[in-house]
Amino acid sequence: MSVKPTVPQTITLASARFALRDLEPSDVSQRMCAWLADPVKARMINSSPGAVTVDHLRAYIASHDRITGHVLGIFDKATGALLGFWAVYIDWDLGEFQLSVLIGERSPKAVNARAETQRELLKYMFDTLGLETLRCSVLTRNEAIGDRIFGVAGVSPEHTSYNPSATDEAFVEIRHYRISKDQWRHLRARVAGDLAPFEKQLGI
């Protein structure tokens, strides 16, 4: 059973190659700002590419109270380099949480950063915090996640919505998923069996 904390909490996790922790204002750099100005990266999260300042990102981090929201940096353990970040939102009353991720770096050291850190983050949310349900949204055009990963795991979208595109005069299709703690545990068991070939991509 999840219990809502009364004071801000700091999340610090680690996988074999990566470290996860709440970002501080001092972590923000021009390099991080450049991620959100990249049209390819912005398109994948339906954001308008453009100039993002250090102050904007620091304000974004500060807007998360570390009780119902966290911004967790993904760091390369070998070099300390910031590779991306997770945004985490928790509804303590419903026992639900929502995750979104941006991997800003596209280099060999960032390979599997999403899946490897997601695995640790899900364990923390379900097992340590006692939350019951993961909610996540995936752009339909992001086939690598929606079709190849969720599809092979047999996870179907709960519903689909259409939001205005941030980059052109059109709408983008978004698939919304709901995964319970029991479903997650079932998928983890399958990773040891028939889903073993997809372990690195699934991040379960």
Q: Is the per-residue pLDDT at 177 higher than 80?
A: yes
Spatial distance between the Cα atoms of 30 and 8, rounded to a whole number of angstroms: 27
Q: What HEC string does the chain produce?
A: CCCCCCCCCCCEEECCCEEEEECCHHHCCHHHHHHHHCHHHHHHCCCCCCCCCHHHHHHHHHCCCCCCEEEEEEEECCCCCEEEEEEEEEECCCCEEEEEEEECCCCHHHCCHHHHHHHHHHHHHHHHCCCCEEEEEEECCCHHHHHHHHHCCCCCCCEEEEEECCCCCCEEEEEEEEEEHHHHHHHHHHHCCCCHHHHHHHCC
Q: Flag whether pLDDT at 197 surpasses 90.
A: no
Q: Report the predicted TM-score, pTM, of the whole model to 2 decimal places.
A: 0.85
CATH architecture of the domain 12-202 equals 3-Layer(aba) Sandwich (3.40)
Cβ pair 169, 180 in contact under 8 A: no
Mean pLDDT of the chain: 85
Query: How confident is the model over 174-189, as a mean pLDDT?
Result: 87
**Percent above pLDDT 90 for the chain:** 44
> pLDDT tens digits, residue range 79-126?
999 999 999 999 999 999 998 888 988 888 888 899 899 999 999 999
Domain-by-domain residue ranges, the chain?
12-202
At 157 the pLDDT is 82
Q: Which residue has the higher pLDDT, 144 or 53?
A: 53
Vertex 201 angle, CA 197 and 202, to 5°? 90
Query: What's the pLDDT score for residue 72?
Result: 96
At 187, the pLDDT band (50, 70, 90 cuts) reads: confident
How would residue 167 be classed by pLDDT, with cut points 50, 70 and 90? low
Per-residue pLDDT of 39-91, as tens digits, reads 766 655 545 666 788 998 899 899 999 999 999 999 999 999 999 999 999 99
Confidence category of residue 200, pLDDT binned at 50, 70, 90:
confident
Question: Is a pLDDT exceeding 70 seen at residue 166?
Answer: no
Local confidence band at 193 (pLDDT 50, 70, 90 cut-offs) = confident
